[in-house]
Amino acid sequence: DIQMTQSPSSLSASVGDRVTITCRASQSIGNYLNWYQQKAGRAPKVLIHSASGLQSGVPSRFSGSGSGTDFTLTISSLQPEDYATYYCQQSHSTPRTFGQGTKVEIK
């Protein structure tokens, strides 16, 4: 199974800050990497597909990069509605696996 490791597990940031979350796969997954946002008590929502593809309707302050084993989700200017938990997920092989999540909190 492919293990996905996110860092950090949590972070505190202020509105307007640039935020970067990293995700590492235990083996190469090409660009088969997706990012999700989950707010408390809600279902996850896909933000980025295929490592860098912005999902329709997602604000352009979200971006993704990387390939192979190392990936990054960047929020260019953190907004109040962005406080949530973020997960990476590989779609290269079965079982589909997720990172453990990164909780973005208000500073």
Partner 1 sequence: EVQLVESGGGLVQPGGSLRLSCAASGFTFSSNWMSWVRQAPGKGLEWVANINDDGSEIYYVDSVKGRFTISRDNAENSLYLQMNSLRAEDTAVYYCAAMVWGGPFHIWGQGTMVTVSS
Q: Which residues bind partner 1 (CB under 8 A)?
A: 32, 34, 36, 38, 42-46, 49-50, 55, 87, 89, 91-92, 94-101
Instruction: Using the minimum distance from each CB to partner 1, give the nearer residue, 6 or 75.
Output: 6
Question: In whole angstroms, what is the distance from residue 98 CA to residue 107 CA?
Answer: 26
Nearest distance in Å: CB 1, partner 1: 8
| Length in residues, the chain | 107
Instruction: Using the minimum distance from each CB to partner 1, give the nearer residue, 71 or 87.
Output: 87
Nearest distance in Å: CB 61, partner 1: 19
Instruction: Using the minimum distance from each CB to partner 1, give the nearer residue, 11 or 46.
Output: 46
CB 44 within 8 A of CB 37: yes
Residue 72: its H or E element? strand 70-75
Residue 12: its H or E element? strand 10-13
CB 72 within 8 A of CB 21: yes
Nearest distance in Å: CB 91, partner 1: 6
Instruction: Using the minimum distance from each CB to partner 1, give the nearer residue, 62 or 87.
Output: 87
